[in-house]
Structure 1
């Protein structure tokens, strides 16, 4: 599996509240996570770090089984995200400084020809395949609810003053609903996980062109996506993870 993992503080923020991790478990499964923290007084970076650590340790402990079924994979990623929720919620409950902190999570567990995606919040997963980009996740935001109910158009939602208001986050409640799905992958497909610092600043068309640029290796494509977000203003922290089955078409990653 070729992977690239990039994060940038952006042009406006004082602290990078995004966290990401990509790793290969003992059973050969590749796992990736992007978390975008929120909460005043630097609580956002604490929340995202705590969530990634809890998610990672849960998966590393459970990674002994070599032939995970799809169902077991879904259960595993659900448990790991639940664990992250508990860890952040408990820390926020114990410490006044961290009151109300939380984070988004988008995570992928990739084995051979499929990926299991879990998410909470508005960090996204996309699949790029043969000239087509597909957004896999559904933002848990107020404006997305308004779009789904027909009260806002997609264009209006993109510029809505409250577009960053989440309807679901990790760590703000003792229990959280987690969206889980399985997606088929072919060797040419690229999975893109990102925080909204990318998806708010860079169009799907730009993402598609960059990720499809065969003359660039995966690392260079991730770097280019970060640069596009910075050129567009870099209003937020920007995090990008790219994953592709190593099939010899993309150079070395």
Structure 2
């Protein structure tokens, strides 16, 4: 697996409250997570960092078994995000500085012929395959609920002043519902995980054109996506993670 992990504070923030991580286990499993924190007094930075640490700590151990099944993978990614929720909520409950802090999470567990995605909030996962980009996650936002119920058009939703109001987050309640799905995975597919600092500023067509480029390495693709978000205003922190199996016929070591 070849990967890229890039983040930028953006042009409108003083602190980068995004956190991300990629890990590759000896059994061939690749793990990735993006978390976009929220809360005053830099509590968003604390929430996202704690969530990533809790997720990583559990899955580096639990997902390392040799014969991990699809159902086990789904269960583990749900448990890891739930564990992250407990860690953030517990600190927020006992420390006034961190009251009501929380974070989004979008995470992936990729193994052989499938990719398992878990998410809470409005950080997104996209799959790019055969010249097509598909949004895999469904934003947990007020505006998305209004769009799905027919009260807003897609254009109105994209520019709504409250489009960043999320309806579900990690750490704000004792328990959280985690959306988990799996998709088929083949060697030439690319998985893109991002915070809304990218998806609010860069169109799917721009994402597709960048990721599908045959002249850029994954790190350069991630850097270019961040630059596109900055060029569009860069209102928020921007984080991009790319996962891609090695293309056929190459000898690159990972």
The TM-score, its normalising length taken from structure 1, stands at 0.98
Matched with 1:77 is 77
How many pairs were matched up?
Answer: 253
Deviations 1:99-149 (A, max 9, x none): 000000000000011100000000000000111100000000000000010
Rounded to whole Å, the distance in 2 between the matches of 1:214 and 1:248 is 13
Residue 224 of structure 2: SS of its match in structure 1?
Answer: helix
Q: Do 1:218 and 1:250's aligned partners in 2 also have CA atoms closer than 8 Å?
A: no
Matched with 1:197 is 197
Q: Do 2:10 and 2:236's aligned partners in 1 also have CA atoms closer than 8 Å?
A: yes
Question: C-alpha displacement at 1:248, in angstroms?
Answer: 4.3
Matched with 2:171 is 171
Question: Which ranges in structure 2 are unaligned for 5 or more consecutive residues?
Answer: none
Rounded to whole Å, the distance in 2 between the matches of 1:37 and 1:251 is 38
- Is 2:234 the partner of 1:234? yes
Matched with 1:86 is 86
Question: C-alpha displacement at 1:212, in angstroms?
Answer: 0.2
Question: C-alpha displacement at 1:52, in angstroms?
Answer: 0.1
Matched with 2:111 is 111
Matched with 1:95 is 95
Q: Do 2:118 and 2:181's aligned partners in 1 also have CA atoms closer than 8 Å?
A: yes
Q: Do 2:29 and 2:64's aligned partners in 1 also have CA atoms closer than 8 Å?
A: no
Q: Do 1:3 and 1:244's aligned partners in 2 also have CA atoms closer than 8 Å?
A: yes
Matched with 2:32 is 32
Matched with 1:120 is 120
Matched with 2:47 is 47
CA RMSD of aligned residues (A): 1.2
Q: Do 2:63 and 2:73's aligned partners in 1 also have CA atoms closer than 8 Å?
A: no
- Is 2:13 the partner of 1:13? yes
